[in-house]
Amino acid sequence: MSIKKIKDTFARMYRNSTYRLWLWVLGFFTVLVTFIKYKGMKGKDKFASIKADLRKELEATTLQDELFAAALMQVRKKNEYFNKTVSEAETEKQAKEIAVKNFETILHDKAKIAAEMQGVNEVTMAACFAELIDNKAFLLFSLVLSFPMYIVMVLFQNPISKYATDRMVMMIFVLFGVVWLVFTILYISPMDPALNILGQTATQEQVDQFNRIYGLDQPYLTQLLRQFRNLITLDLGNSYQGNERIIGALANKFPITLEVTFWSMVVSLGIAIPAGIISAIKQYSSFDYIAMFFALLGLSIPNFWLGLMLILSLSIKTGILPATYQPANNLTLIMPAIVLGTGMSASVARMTRSSMLEVKNSDYILTARAKGLPENKVVLKHILGNAMIPIVTTIGAQFGGMLGGSSVTEKVFNINGIGSYIVERQYIPDIPVVLAGVVYISFVVSIMNLVVDILYAVIDPRIKSRMKNY
């Protein structure tokens, strides 16, 4: 990265109040030195002297009086229109404020023009930074002391990575919010975890000891801060029952959930996208009606009922497939994949159809046909390509939701995944596990949303070009 680009990025970031804060936090020493230099130079450089000369010049003219008269008129007219009675002194005070503000603006603009003619720049933070960074020693000093600032600057070079960084920061705040929300809900719960775990017969000493071990005797804020610390260190704490590390338990169950999710994605996309395309191209045909009826049916079937019916017909009555999930047996994955895939393919097929129908009648599709493109190219490249955004959104949302474990389906097929883990523990209720589970799933869902948003820029040139100006 060249020095010039660093300077540009600094100037751009310093203009925005949020990013200015980032710069101060991440590169405190560098920005502090720059700020001291800026304060020292301000008012002593050439631009300031040009401005001072100009001020004297303008004060000699009648400009100030003219501005005041105009402002007075403006304030009076305004009060007259709104039928307000304001004392003369108040009116004049308001007019004076407006006049001074206008005068300063005019003065600044004129000074800038004059300075530009003489080849002098106004002193700004960016200019100070540019001057400082040309000094090799300072560059080294600031690289060592405020390297996080430079990392952020590198990320801000590319619009997509800048967008991703912005979203990641937002996501971290959201995650803290989620911890606060869920912790508060669980904190104000009328239940006593100690009695739930130890049983009703527990003595007061046992209860006190339990509360001491898990820090439940501490005030709300201390407990909340501990949860925040857990989130920062990615520790998530220990469960009440069995006192196991929750992060380890979640990591153990993640591969199973991922496997089930992957296969249901394969099932659902394999059905949904072709069905949606055919329905959209042959709108109002019998295929369209039947496919959309099944899609709506798929949306309306409860997962557990479909699972039970599959078990009834494929396992109990005919014995083709085993009824419960076994990790070593791939055949047992078929039914869960079908059950989860049905609901998902229903919404994806509906979305594919409706978004393709919107694109189908656009002028550019007519152009594509008119220039003699083969039909399948028109459909797949032009119609489907331009209808991709809502489809990807739906798929991403569903994928994120499924990665969080689908507790109901997991329970039907006895899959030992994340969803059923959380549900099992909430019967106790094992508060840390519920909290950690919610945080984990919110994290996965947020990451999926981020991935989808970045995918937009990759698949849609319109969004890509808009992002360039971001």
Asked if 362 interacts with other proteins (CB under 8 A), we say: no
Residue number, 30 or 406, with CB nearest to other proteins:
406
- Segment lying near other proteins (by CB under 8 A), choices 15-23, 150-158, 173-181, 375-383: 173-181
Which residues 143-162 are close enough to bind other proteins by CB under 8 A?
A: none
Q: How many residues sit in the footprint of other proteins (CB under 8 A)? A: 49
State CA 5 to chain mean position distance. 27
Kindly state whether residue 398 participates in binding other proteins, applying the rule CB under 8 A.
Answer: no
- Whether the link from the prior residue into 429 is cis, omega within 30° of 0, is yes
From candidates 3, 191, 251, 380, binder to other proteins by CB under 8 A? 191
Q: What φ, ψ does residue 245 adopt, rounded to 5°?
A: -75, 125
User: Does the protein bind other proteins through residue 304 (CB under 8 A)?
Assistant: yes
Q: Which stretch binds other proteins (CB under 8 A): 39-47, 66-74, 92-100, 174-182?
A: 174-182
Q: Which stretch binds other proteins (CB under 8 A): 99-107, 244-252, 296-304, 328-336?
A: 296-304
Nearer to other proteins, 338 or 422 (CB): 422
Tokens of 352: 């594919």
Tell which one of 223, 411, 463, 467 touches other proteins (CB under 8 A): 411
Rounded to the nearest 5 degrees, what angle is found at the Cα of 452, between the Cα atoms of 447 and 458?
Answer: 130
Amino acid letter at 442? S
Question: Which 413-452 residues touch other proteins, going by CB under 8 A?
Answer: 422-423, 426-427, 429, 431, 434-435, 437-438, 441-442, 445-446
Indicate which single residue of 268, 303, 347, 352 sits in contact with other proteins (rule: CB under 8 A). Answer: 303
Distance in Å, CB of 393 to other proteins, minimum:
13
Closest CA to 187 of 195, 179, 175: 179
Stretch that binds other proteins, among 46-54, 256-264, 356-364, 402-410 (CB under 8 A): 402-410
User: Do the Cβ atoms of 206 and 392 come closer than 8 Å?
Assistant: no
Does 300 sit near other proteins (CB under 8 A)?
yes
Does 270 bind other proteins (CB under 8 A)? Our answer is no
Residue 173 touches other proteins, criterion: CB under 8 A: yes
**Structure tokens, 27:** 């590169």
Smallest gap, in angstroms, from Cβ of residue 379 to other proteins?
Answer: 22
Closer residue to other proteins in complex, CB, 216/308: 308
Interface positions, 316-355, toward other proteins (CB under 8 A): 316
Q: By the criterion CB under 8 A, which residues form the site for other proteins? A: 170, 173-175, 177-178, 180-182, 185-186, 188-191, 296-297, 299-305, 308-309, 311-312, 316, 401, 404, 407-408, 411-412, 422-423, 426-427, 429, 431, 434-435, 437-438, 441-442, 445-446
